[in-house]
Structure 1
Amino acid sequence: MDFRDDPARAPETVAPSALAASRAIPLTVGACFFMEGLDATIIATSLPQIAEALHVTPHETSVALTAYLISVSIWLAASGWLADRFEAKRVFIASILMFILGSLVCGVSADLTQLIVGRFLQGMGGAMMAPVGRLILARSFPRNQLVRAMSYMIIPGLLGPMLGPVIGGMITTYFDWRWIFFINLPLGVLGVAMAIRFLKRFAPGAPIRFDGWGFVLVAVALVAILASLEVVAAESAFGRTAMLGLGIGVAACLAYGWHARRADPILDLRLLRHRAFAVAVLGGALSRVVLGATLFLFPLYFQLALGASAVATGYLMATLAVGQIALRLGIDPLLRHLGIRRLLVANSVAMGALLVGLLAFEGDASLWLLGAFLFLFGMLHAIQLSTLGALTFSGLAEDKLGGANSIAAVVQRLAMAIGISVAAILLGYASATTGLTGASFPLPILALSAVLLLSAASFLALRRGDGDDLMR
């Protein structure tokens, strides 16, 4: 018997084949996250070469980045309904195949229009891949194994965005730019093969009418808000274009709030009445604001404030990834001794303190010492993501998991985008008179530390029993 069918059994007592499957399932999902994260960051380094090959300006090629963003925003809210209606494993495999198709179209593009079409197809696949993958994970394990499964999943998922710029630079320098898209083909085929081999099938849910108006309102809200945040991040200021986009997004959100009173909305906001879910999504959003911002700030801080070279910065960010992987050594004992509530509070406070401590480093700081700092921060980073990811599904009935996952996916994407934009605005404000120097970084770093303290305070809303189903 598979240990997933008997939550009372500890993993130490199950057969080796069951243990292998317990790792294969999250690593299969994480491998697809790696492909998506790699693609999202790899293209930025090759925009000048793409522009030259397609006979357009580098500025015009940025439309390809926007096309992906818009496509993901449109399809993200529909992921839960599709997984429940057509079976999660099928939708997950279809999303990978859609991503492969989009990558192929991008790779053979002869003009900018074809590239935009390819990126839109990639966005359709990416919008389904991440949330449906998390949903499969939540349905494949008993709740008391979910944190461990999440910790395996995030390892490849976090490596993709960090390795993207490095791999993109190498491909652009030594190969043709088209290989930044063709590289997804073998990765995608491997992902499909692993999904067919390792992922479980789940019976589709009872047919529910698709909420077309809700889908449109959520899509408009996400496209408008995320586009305005992209403008803010690019300009480091909140101008008229950003204000217009944000206004449209807020209006669409308000309209959806009124629309969601119906019986079967595409995003069921009534799920926020579940305390553990609400804390995981809303309180966790504050943590994800910081996590998104640090991935933007750290490379700039190391080079501009501490004088590290681009190569040294790459090694330091790799150390961050190694720390994220190493969390597997300590997350289970921490959960047992602290519990969900105290772990999230203590972890948030510790991350805030580390961010403040980062300001103590000076230009002559030892790279070894800085690497040790990032290793520790990476561990705390991954503990936060694993625990929040599991808490999202705590205490929810099986038929509520798809809807909960869709809400979480939308909020997570917004939070990460907000984090980058807030960091860019604060950095721009601090450097308005003196230019971007080391003195520009204390303001955004201290502000992010304060956000982590707010996140810690939000986790205090958890009560006895919340998240107990995640404990072994």
Structure 2
Amino acid sequence: MQKERLIPLIVACALFMENMDSTVIATSLPAIAADIGTNPLALKVAITSYLLSLAVFIPGSGWMADRFGARTVFATAIGVFMLGSIGCALSSTLTDFVFARILQGMGGAMMMPVGRLVLLRTIDKSALVNAMAWVTVPALLGPVIGPPLGGFITTYFSWHWIFLINIPIGFLGIYLAVRFIDPIRSINPERFDLVGLLLAGLAVAGLAFGLSVAGLNLLPWQLVVGLIVGGAVSGLFYIRHARKTASPVLDFSLLQLPTLRASLGGGFLFRMGIGALPFLLPLLMQLGFGLSPFQSGMVTFASAIGAMGMKTFAARIIRTFGFRPVILFNVFVASASLAACALFTPGTPLLLIMIVLIVGGFFRSLQFTAINTLAYAEVEPPQMSRATTLASVNQQLAISAGVAVGAFAVEATVHFRQGAELTAADFWPAFVVVSLISLSSFWSFYRLPANAGHQISGQKVEAMEGPKAADTAANETTAEVRDHRLG
């Protein structure tokens, strides 16, 4: 029991820092934009550059953990993230800020998937749902503390200090990692796919970054088109390359596993919609409703309160109902709560807004816990590094795409009404669009078998329905052996 709680809490220390950083920035965007001489929507480039940096460098994290040891890579990643935080605090232009965020992304790219890999290799599958809940409870303190703390610092001090709070947290994370995490390392690490890393990185960066800056007039249109076309071509070359290499940096053959395929496919659409919320909501509160950063933070942190409240029930709910029913139900509830944000007006009582956010946060968090855990139900121990890499890239791309789509919807609304400044009326179409995107994930999860993820949900095979129940029972002993090998 001590291992099942201590290791998740150590990993959560890094996730706490990363999650708090992202939510602190969200509430401070208008103040940062005013100080460095740009508009708040243009600052989505700083957000997407961080997310894209994650997606570009995450593919190499699994190999690095196998080659140099998870403890060394994890501690180093925290240090790189701290350097990026200092760079953000010292930035005086949008360019400086973007480069500092890219450095942060490099640290986060190693920090998050390697932390997840440590969990998967030290925690038994039968205890994985509880471990995921444990690791996300402290990490969710970041979103709880981030909005009001970022708003308070920005309102009464200076936005530069919101990045410096990462420094003491980072030192604590490095100490705990060196002190308690074993230097997990693969005996025979696979050959590193450098060509694949370059092609995948160019594809991800070109497509996502090119689409995110389209229409902002930050770059010449010829360069934007070149980024998008270059990204698409690189993606085609990577797919061709991956079919010929024995150890591709992004192993798409793992998508043959039904649970992983549904988790990544449906999870991408769900995250794409939900990922726009932390970007859109603070802007609506401040630019649309006229709230201060501190007031905005005190309202938006309600979503994280609901998320934290769910964590104590997650394992019990999934064990009682199973993954598939929980995920299908949550798709509708979470998407509806996102669409409800389109109804917010300057006259909507703040208490009602907070109630909607709390309820939405509860069900969104349950959905993320279920999706994240389900992904590894059928993954064999030797495939864990590749699976965590693929899942991490998928998550970051989804969030980046969500921010880009949300911002584009707002920009399109402003352009359509030929307005000069953002108003509250410019945000409701964006909330409708992203909620529909989240809802579209239903079909991916609907195709799951009734007993999907039973290996880690805690459900008994005899209580399940579906054509694969008998086969599942026959393989139960083998699954238990595999589970113990993870420890």
TM-score scaled by length of structure 1: 0.83
Q: Tell me the distance in 2 between the aligned counterparts of 1:46 and 1:295.
A: 11
Check whether the contact 1:151–1:382 (CA below 8 A) recurs between aligned residues. no
Change in Cα spacing, 1:255 to 1:457, as seen in structure 2 (3 Å) is: same
SS at structure 2 position matched to 1:414: helix
1:280 aligned to 2:263? yes
How far 1:42 moved relative to its partner?
4.7
Which consecutive residues of structure 1, in runs of 5 or more, have no partner in the other structure? 1-17
Deviation at 1:333, TM superposition (A): 2.9
Cα shift at 1:420: 1.1
**Distance of 2:131 and 2:354 partners within structure 1:** 27
Confirm or deny: 8 A CA contact 1:288 1:415 kept in the other structure. Answer: yes
Residues 308, 133 of structure 1: alpha-carbon distance in 2 compared, 3 angstrom cutoff: same
* Alignment match, 1:342: 325
CA distance in 2, matches of 1:408, 1:28: 21
Q: RMSD over aligned Cα, in angstroms?
A: 3.6
In the alignment, residue 440 of structure 2 is paired with which amino acid? L
Q: Which amino acid aligns with 1:189?
A: F
Structure 2 Cα separation of the partners of residues 186 and 444 of structure 1: 37
Q: Which moved more, 1:197-206 or 1:77-86?
A: 197-206
Larger deviation, residues 438-447 vs 145-154? 438-447
Question: Which of 435, 446, 449 does residue 449 from structure 1 map onto?
Answer: 435
Give the match for residue 469 of structure 1. Answer: 455
Counterpart AA for 1:223: A
Say whether residues 1:36 and 2:18 are aligned partners. yes
Q: Name which of 185, 188, 206 aligns with 1:224.
A: 206
Shift of 1:67: 6.9
Aligned match of 2:479 = none
For 1:380, give the aligned amino acid: F
1:205 touches 1:399 (CA, 8 Å); kept in 2? no
Farther off after superposition, 154-163 or 328-337: 154-163
The answer to whether structure 1 residue 264 and structure 2 residue 250 are counterparts is no
In structure 2, how many angstroms separate the alpha carbons of the residues matched to 1:101 and 1:298? 29
- Name the stretch that deviates more: 408-417 or 201-210: 201-210
Q: Does the C-alpha gap of structure 1 residues 213 and 193 become closer, same or farther in structure 2, counting only changes over 3 Å?
A: same
Is residue 324 of structure 1 aligned with residue 307 of structure 2?
yes
Q: Following the alignment from structure 1 to structure 2, what is the Cα–Cα distance between the partners of residues 246 and 50? A: 26
Aligned residues: 450
The partner residue of 1:138 within 120, 129, 134 is 120
1:415 alignment counterpart = 398
Distance in 2, matches of 1:282 and 1:415, equals 10
Alignment of 1:179-328 (within 5 A): 179-232=161-214, 241-261=223-243, 262-302=245-285, 310-328=293-311
What is the deviation of 1:451? 1.9
CA deviations over 1:226-257 (Å, ceiling 9, x no partner): 32243148569996554432221111111100
Give the Cα–Cα distance (whole angstroms) in 1 for the partners of residues 210 and 357 of structure 2: 31
CA distance, structure 1, for counterparts of residue 318 and residue 93 of structure 2: 52
- Residue 137 of structure 1 and its aligned partner are, at CA, apart by 1.7
Q: Aligned-pair distance for 1:312?
A: 3.7
CA deviations 1:352-400 (Å, max 9, x no partner) are 2223444455543332222121111011111111111111211111110
Letter in 2 for 1:353: A
Q: Report percent identity of matched pairs.
A: 35
> Does structure 2 retain, via aligned residues, the 8 Å contact 1:21–1:198?
no
Letter in 2 for 1:347: N
For the residue of structure 2 that corresponds to 1:462, the secondary structure is coil
SS in 2 for 1:432: helix
The answer to whether the 8 Å contact 1:39/1:181 transfers is yes
Shift, 1:291, TM fit: 1.3
The 3 A distance-change label for structure 1 pair 315 and 175 is closer
Which amino acid in structure 2 is aligned with residue 368 of structure 1?
A: L
Say whether the 8 Å CA contact 2:274–2:338 is kept in structure 1: no
Match of 2:76 in 1: 94
Specify the code of the residue in structure 1 equivalent to 2:308. Answer: I
**Per-residue CA distance 1:49-99 (angstroms, 9 max, x = gap):** 8998xxx8669x979878756643442210111112222222112211333
Which range moves more in the overlay, 171-180 or 371-380?
A: 171-180
Q: 1:415 to 1:239 in 2, by over 3 A?
A: farther
* Cα gap change, 1:369 to 1:410, in 2 (>3 Å): same
Asked if structure 1 preserves the Cα contact closer than 8 Å seen for 2:10 and 2:173, the reply is yes
Hey, what's the Cα distance between the residues in 2 that align with 1:114 and 1:420? 21
CA distance in structure 2 between the aligned counterparts of 1:247 and 1:416, rounded to whole angstroms: 21
- TM-aligned CA distance change 1:156 to 1:229, over 3 Å: farther
Counterpart residue identity of residue 256, structure 2: R
Mapped partners of 1:72, 1:463: distance in 2: 32
User: Contact (CA 8 Å) 1:151, 1:383: kept in 2 or not?
Assistant: no
**Cα distance, 1:325 vs. partner?**
0.4
| Distance change (3 Å), C-alpha of 1:465 and 1:293 | same
Query: For residues 372 and 65 of structure 1, do their structure 2 counterparts lie closer, same or farther at Cα, with a shift above 3 Å needed?
Result: closer
Q: Please name the residue that 2:372 is paired with.
A: 389
Contact 2:152 2:294 in 1 (8 A): no
The answer (yes or no) to whether the contact 2:147–2:298 under 8 Å persists in 1 is: no
Whole-angstrom CA distance in 2 between matches of 1:162 and 1:296: 15
Whether the aligned pair in 1 keeps the contact of 2:51 and 2:399 (CA below 8 Å) is no
Q: The residue matched to 1:431 in structure 2 has which SS?
A: helix
Question: Counterpart of 2:448 in structure 1: which amino acid?
Answer: L
Structure 2 distance, partners of 1:76, 1:90, is 16
The 1:402/1:233 distance shift into structure 2, 3 A limit, reads farther
C-alpha distance in 2 between matches for 1:382 and 1:225: 29
Q: Which amino acid aligns with 1:408?
A: A
Q: CA deviation at 1:169?
A: 5.3
Q: 1:50 to 1:139 in 2, by over 3 A?
A: same
What is the letter of the counterpart of residue 406 of structure 1? T
Distance in 2 of aligned mates of 1:172 and 1:362: 24
d(CA) in 2 for partners of 1:192 and 1:350? Answer: 39
Deviation at 1:303? 5.0
Residues 232 and 238 in structure 1, CA contact (< 8 A), matched pair in contact too: no
Per-residue deviation at 1:423?
A: 1.3
- Give the counterpart of 1:122 among 89, 104, 115: 104
Distance 1:444 1:325 in 2: 26
Aligned-partner Cα distance in 2 for 1:361–1:64: 27
Matched ranges for 1:432-447 at <5 A: 432-434=415-417, 435=419, 436-447=422-433
Q: Judge conservation of contact 2:276–2:403 (CA < 8 Å) in 1.
A: yes
